[in-house]
Every structure is written in structure tokens, then in C-alpha cells.
Amino acid sequence: MVFFLQNENYDMKKLEGGLNNIAGIRSAGFKEGKYGVSLIVFDKVCKAEGVFTTNKICAAPVKVTKERIKNGIRAIVANSGNANCSTGEKGVKDAEFMCVKAASLFKINEKNVAVASTGIIGRYLDIETVSQRIEKAASKLGSGSIDAATAIMTTDTKPKELCIDFGNFKIAGIAKGAGMIHPNMATMLCFIVTDAEFKGGDLKVAANASFNMMSVDNDMSTNDTVLLVSTGEKKTFGFTEALTMFCQEMAKMIVADGEGVTKVIEVEVKGAKNDTDAKKAARAISDSYLVKCAVFGNNPNWGRVAAAAGYSGAELNENRMKIWYEVSDKRVLLFDGFAKEFDKPALGEEMKKVKEIRIIVDLSLGSGSSKAWTGDLSYDYVKINAEYN
């Protein structure tokens, strides 16, 4: 876990087992070769909310789930290996078939089944293979969320599951995502379940401070889907803040497993004129290929950070700006209105030893703040995507 958050408002504990910690749900997954299916089934129809890709090329399962989520959710079925995108009317029918198939196995209304897909764009689903994998996943229902998380992996190197106990309620989830990671949703699927009640709009607030503040390669996918489902058993206060922290943890897990990533970079911008400016600067820095390449090369080239902040659109006064690199809990001031003297070779050697670094920028203009997460850009990223088909 990278940069695990702490908050004095909650007695937070990370629990093993992911979705298994939430009563009233069962999950399973089955994968053979590149193609898998995950299932999450609820004991009752549950309130749900979703955020989705903003790409105008939008996959069939996204279109179907956007409509069905209004009915409440009783099950989620997701496949990997094929995005079912740019597949026309057949693609929509295939996505609907996945819902029908899951509903028939569990004797529930197919209008309460959400669907998601991830994989290659522009290929029709082999619906017979998908149907068989739904059946095999259903036969394992209750085996656990690690199987469900594994089944939706594509170029991911590890399954992603998380559960945080916030004291009087829990939030749990699984996710996949490694490439095509860019703010305003990434190439990711994330299914979050809680035993707390939530308000409409909570997920959007949380996503804007987490999934929409991460990047790996600045490419936006066509299939991004994040669903929040509540069993609705516990009334609570402060859920939005807790959900935001949960989503930030999941976002960092995704970035840490990004294609070719060797280091996770947390960018913190503070002292901005307002939060909007802070967000602009944080995203510009985290999206910068030059910053990412410098970190891969263990080169504390703060000039690239300064340049990205300068073109971000945030109000900025160079004479008041400060930049630090934090490595192994040691913070080094590199810029304070002008270039500072520091031991660049020594800092570079420290960067070689770690898997995560923080870049802190203080604009010294106000109280605005924001964080973003990204990974370095390595040779392996090019190799992975040159061969992906």
C-alpha cells in the first residue's frame, strides 16, 4: 500500500479480504487465458451510483449500465479481454445478454444487473465463451473478491482489492487498471460496496479527488466504470470524506500497478489562490511526460516541475513558489523563488532505493490545495503497448 492515509476523524483499519467484509454480498471470478468474468451478487436490490468515462467513444456496457443503475443493483457482471466497444447494436445486445445470463442464473430481474467490460476495442464479444465463463464464475459464487479482482485483470500485474473499516461502517472494493489512465476517468473498472447509507453525488465528489486525479499515460479509455453500491444498513456521518479517502487509496493502487511503472509519484500543490488552481497545477505536473521521465531516471529535475506549474493555467508568482522532493521521509528544498543549492547526486541515489516519492509545490498565494498521483514513464511502458493486441 502506497502513502496509506490517516485521518483523526476515523479509527481507520485496513481489513484483509476486500468485499468479503461486507454482509449481504457474494462475489466470484473465473479466468482462463486472457478472458475472464467477475460476479458480485447482492441479497437484495441496493441503491447504486456510478461515474463513467467522458470519452465520446463510449462502450456498449457503459451505455447499458448508465440506464440500469437507476433501477437499483442486485448484481454486477464484468468481463475482461474484450471491451465490447465500437461494436454497434450487436454490442449493446451482447451487453444486455450478459445481464440476462447472470439474472437467469440467480433468478433475479435482469433490469437490476449492471454490466462492465475491459479489453481490446473494436472486437465483437465471443458471447458463447462469455456465457460459459459467467456460468463457471457463478458456480464459484462466494469464493471471494480476490477471484473477482483477478478475473477482470488485463495488463495488470496484480489483483486489487481493499477494505477499510472506518469504525462504525466499512467500505470495500475491487478494481482493475494499468494503462490508458488519465483524469476524468481512466481505463479502469472499480466496484465499491459499503454497509453505510450514502447521498446522491457522494461518488462524484470522491472520484473528482481520486480517480480523476491520477494518470499513467494521458490516454482516456472508452469503458471506465466506477460503481458504488450500498447495502444501506448503517446510518452515518462523514461518509463523503471517508469514501474520498477510500477512493484515493484505490487510485494509488492502480497507479502503483501502472504499465511499466517503477515509482509512484504523489504531487501535492498547496498555497494556491484556490482549490481550482491547485488542481490545475497538480494535474499538469502529474501529466508531464518530462517529469515522469526524470523520475524514472532518478533525476530530481525540479525545472520540469516548475515549467508544468507555469503552463497549468494556475495563478503563479515565480518569486514566491517553493518546490520540494520528499524521498524516504526526507524533504529537500530545491527551489525557493530561485534555484537552491542541494546535493543532486545524493538525492538521485536515494531516489533509486524507493518505490514512491512526493513532489510538493507551494505557490504561496492562498489556501488552495490538491493532490494527484502518477507513475514514472519507463521503457517497459513502450514495449507493453507496442505489443498490445
> Which residue of the set 87, 118, 155, 187 is catalytic?
187
C-alpha cell at 337: 523563488
Query: 71: left (phi > 0), else alpha (psi -120 to 50), else beta?
Result: alpha
Q: How far apart are CA 111 and CA 211, in angstroms?
A: 28
One-letter identity of residue 300: P
Q: With the CA atoms of 205, 220, 35 and 121 taken in that order, what torsion angle do they form, in degrees rounded to the nearest 10?
A: 140
Told to judge if 187 belongs to the known catalytic residues of this protein, a careful annotator would answer yes
Q: How far apart are CA 270 and CA 19, in angstroms?
A: 35
Report how far Cα 203 is from the mean position of its chain's Cα atoms.
13
Report how far Cα 297 is from the mean position of its chain's Cα atoms.
25
- Give all strands (DSSP E) within the chain, no chain letters: 13-14, 25-32, 35-52, 73-82, 113-120, 160-165, 170-176, 189-196, 214-215, 225-234, 264-272, 322-327, 330-336, 356-362, 368-375
Q: If we measure between CA atoms, which residue out of 19, 244, 247 comes closest to residue 152? A: 19
**Residue 219 main-chain phi, psi, to 5 deg:** -105, 130
> Which residue is it, cell 433501477?
71
Q: Residue 340 in contact with residue 302, Cβ under 8 Å?
A: no
C-alpha cell at 209: 479527488
* Cβ-based neighbours of 104, under 8 Å, separated by 6 or more: 110
Please identify every residue annotated as catalytic. 187
